[in-house]
Structure 1
Amino acid sequence: MRFVFYLLMMIAVALVVGFGLSYYALTDGRLFGVAQVGPWHAWPDVGASAPNPYTRGHLARTAAFELGQAEGLQFTATSDSDGQALSRDCSYSVQGKTPLATFWTLVALDDAGVNIAAPDVAPAMHSANIVRTNEGDIQINIGTRLMPGNWLELTGEGSFKLVLSLYDTAVFSGFSSDESMPVILRGDCA
């Protein structure tokens, strides 16, 4: 009787662990197919001709039109560099260097993937129309309240994510540290 009890317990544990890891891999999967640099994460196999199974699960779940490997790579941040979730109640500053790319864009999206830039302003910041520091770094202010310099004005309230799309880049050939990506610093909150 004791043997049957242990056998049933082992089967239950195996099922919970197996289904739990499968659910995690298909819903989030960041431990398996994602490259993480600071608060930014990307799926490098998205545009591959034969992506890994976790990337396939990500593509099936999001059903988004992704860039091919020869076109570029998208990095997404849902938190600032301190690990706190991005919220439209706060202002943020994206500062530092960007990986080498012919062109890049930075856009703010809500949880449904809708652009939350204010109406009558540019829907995204891009590399061709920003002012850089003397060292060549970027400094983009993001929030619902007026800020100096490069400003991506947002509307509404709630959480959001930042998407940095790098076009015509070989980002993973020399990608080594958090210094390769800009930091996201939290400012004042309402």
Structure 2
Amino acid sequence: MLKTALLTLLSLAIAVGVGGGSVWYALQAQDGVGAIRIGQWTAFPEIGTQGADPYSKARVAREGVLALGKAEGLSFIAERDAAGEPLRRECAYTIEGGFPTARFWTLYAADQSLGVVDTGKPRLAALQSYQVLRQPDNAVTIAVGNRPAPGNWLLTDGFGKMYFVLTFYDTPIASSTGLSDVALPSIVKVGCNA
């Protein structure tokens, strides 16, 4: 009798532990249920809609973010560079390429909570589409790091993991089924501080 009770409790503990761990992993991972991936960028297009899956709803509740609806826009998050390495605050990067059609877009370096990386100079820690310099083909090149760079520069400082958050507002890609045709800028590591 005692042996049966102990085995039952052990089975329940394993089930709760493995189940809880898998849910935690699913909410932490940028790839997952409902995600689309374009290059290094990941988005959850259904996250602000009635048809959002339970994991997307849990992600919104846990992070406390105001999710954009399909007609409002779409946010992409990058956690790795073009070589597949995790993004680090102590490294310098170049974000280069074209941006999809949108009325307005923003780009910022984010910490673990997806808030703007604390640099002491928040105005330099984010860029938006109206302030960037463009090349003749409308492509944009952005230097990211703790040392000022000519042209477009995004300040990051400190040590540890970071993300890039690229949000498009009032864009046809948010409601389009042709997301596979969209090209987003690449993230190339330039170097790291010792």
Indicate whether the TM-score tops 0.5: yes
Question: Could you tell which deviates more after superposition, 116-125 or 141-150?
Answer: 116-125
Q: Does 1:187 align with 2:190?
A: yes
Aligned to 2:137: 135
Q: Matched residues in 1 for 2:184 and 2:79: separation?
A: 15
Aligned to 1:91: 92
Aligned to 1:102: 103
Aligned with 2:130: secondary structure? Answer: helix
Aligned to 1:60: 61
TM-score (norm: length of structure 2): 0.80
Q: Matched residues in 2 for 1:37 and 1:56: separation?
A: 22
- Letter of the 1:151 counterpart: W
Ranges in structure 1 where 5+ consecutive residues have no aligned partner: 1-7
- Letter of the 1:175 counterpart: L
Question: Aligned-pair RMSD on alpha carbons?
Answer: 2.6
Structure 1 residues 119 and 29, CA gap change in structure 2 (3 angstroms): closer
Contact kept? 2:81, 2:189, Cα under 8 Å: yes
Aligned to 2:171: 169
Shift of 1:57: 2.1
Aligned with 1:57: secondary structure? Answer: helix
Aligned with 1:30: secondary structure? Answer: coil
Ranges in structure 2 where 5+ consecutive residues have no aligned partner: 1-7
Q: Matched residues in 1 for 2:81 and 2:42: separation?
A: 12
TM-score (norm: length of structure 1): 0.82
